[in-house]
Chain A
């Protein structure tokens, strides 16, 4: 009962924050709505007994990636683009089609393609180790190669970002 109530509260706030993100005029407000959405999804991770992913979401996604977004939004002036649309019927049509897709997927997942099962509640974990320890054991044994490759990926991303904004020195 409490689990369902918590899920519906977090779900409604997440959907409202997502709609607020795409409907707001100011890019800064959009970023703040997205941060609220990320916090709600982190709460949903906590209800699914995935506490490490919930905390990583708050620290990395909402805490680093969105802050980077806000830095760039502030750097570029947080300008609101003029609402001179080339195709004025595009936004209402997109909204109608999106509502159609959302309703369709909801109906399909409720009636036809029902995934069967319930998510792990936080009080019925059968393992005696913490989620972090079990996740770490799986990560460093079965998924060691993707882990190392991800470190190389992050290095490449750092180098790419630095090279992109470097001023070219003219060599005479």
Chain B
């Protein structure tokens, strides 16, 4: 019998690691992968709580989150490829053309 707060603590730790990845990296692809890690951590919390209340709502929401994440990754990677074509770099520190 695993109490549910172990799963929630694991979800919180994974989410924190994802946040660190987003904040410290300059490679746009690593930032994107850290966002996927954060989504993954949230999915874990969804399924854990849905399993506690013996309902399928958590798993259905995770289904939709995975579908939306797939769509977001497709469009996001297309954007990154386009940016690379014009700037020859994926360093987010160099994406400062809009800076005043």
Contact = CB atoms under 8 A, between A and B. Distances in A.
Interface of A: 3-4, 7, 11, 14-15, 18-19, 21-22, 27, 30-31, 34, 37-38, 41, 44-45, 47-50, 52-53, 56-57, 60-61, 64-65, 68-69, 72-73, 75-76, 81, 86, 90-91, 94-95, 98, 101-102, 105-106, 109-110, 114-121, 134-135, 138-139, 143, 146, 150, 153-154, 156-158, 160-161, 164-165
Interface residues on B, range: 35 or more
Interface string B47-76: 111111110111110111011111111110
Given A21-B21, A49-B51, A14 B14 contact: yes
A71 B70 CA distance: 15
Majority DSSP secondary structure for residues of A touching B: helix
A86 B9 contact: no
B95 interface: no
Interface of B: 1-10, 12-14, 16-21, 23-27, 29-30, 32-34, 36-37, 40, 43-44, 47-54, 56-60, 62-64, 66-75, 77-82, 84, 90-91, 93
